[in-house]
C-alpha cells in the first residue's frame, strides 16, 4: 500500500470519527462538493479498505445533510459509483457491503425519486 493510500485511509477514518461524533451540517453544507469529489475519487480509484471507508463516510454525510436538496445532490452524484462498486465482483466484500449500506441509507434519507 502506497503512502498516499495510507494517507487517504487515515483521512477517511478521521472524517468517519468526526461525522459520527458531532453534528456538522452547517460546516458540511459549504464543503459538500469538495467532500463529494474526494469520496468519488476514493470509490473510483481506491481499493478495499479505502472504498469501504468512503462508503461509510458517505452514509454519515447523507445522515448529516438530511433530506434536503443538498443531501439529494450529493447522493445523486455518487449513486452510480456505489452501484458500480456493489456490482463489481472483483471489489472486496467489505467495500461492496459498505457501498450497499450507503446506497440503502442514502436512498432512504436523500432520494427524491421514489423508485
Would you list the domain boundaries of the chain? 28-109
Crossing angle for the helix pair 25-45 and 49-65, nearest 10 degrees?
A: 150
Q: What is the pLDDT of residues 54-88, one digit of tens each?
A: 999 999 999 998 888 988 999 999 999 999 999 99
- The kind and range of the H/E element at 115 are none
pLDDT > 90? residue 3: no
For residue 58, what pLDDT is reported?
96
For residue 115, what pLDDT is reported?
59
For residue 4, what pLDDT is reported?
84
Contact at 8 Å (CB) between 111 and 103? no
Q: What is the DSSP string of 46-80?
A: --THHHHHHHHHHHHHHHHHTTSHHHHHHHHHHHH
For residue 79, what pLDDT is reported?
95
Look up residue 90 and give its three cell numbers.
472483483
User: Structure pTM?
Assistant: 0.89
- Exposed, middle or buried: residue 2 (CB in 10 Å: 0-12, 13-18, 19+)? exposed
Q: Tell which wins on pLDDT, 115 or 94.
A: 94
Amino acid at each position: 500500500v502506497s503512502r498516499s493510500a495510507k494517507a487517504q485511509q487515515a483521512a477517511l477514518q478521521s472524517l468517519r470519527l468526526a461525522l459520527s461524533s458531532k453534528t456538522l451540517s452547517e460546516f458540511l453544507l459549504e464543503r459538500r462538493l469538495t467532500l463529494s469529489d474526494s469520496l468519488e475519487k476514493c470509490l473510483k480509484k481506491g481499493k478495499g479498505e479505502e472504498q469501504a471507508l468512503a462508503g461509510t463516510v458517505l452514509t454519515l454525510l447523507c445522515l448529516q445533510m438530511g433530506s434536503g436538496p443538498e443531501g439529494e445532490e450529493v447522493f445523486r452524484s455518487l449513486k452510480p459509483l456505489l452501484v458500480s462498486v456493489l456490482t463489481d465482483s472483483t471489489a472486496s466484500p467489505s467495500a461492496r457491503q459498505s457501498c450497499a449500506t450507503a446506497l440503502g441509507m442514502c436512498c432512504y434519507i436523500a432520494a427524491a425519486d421514489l423508485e
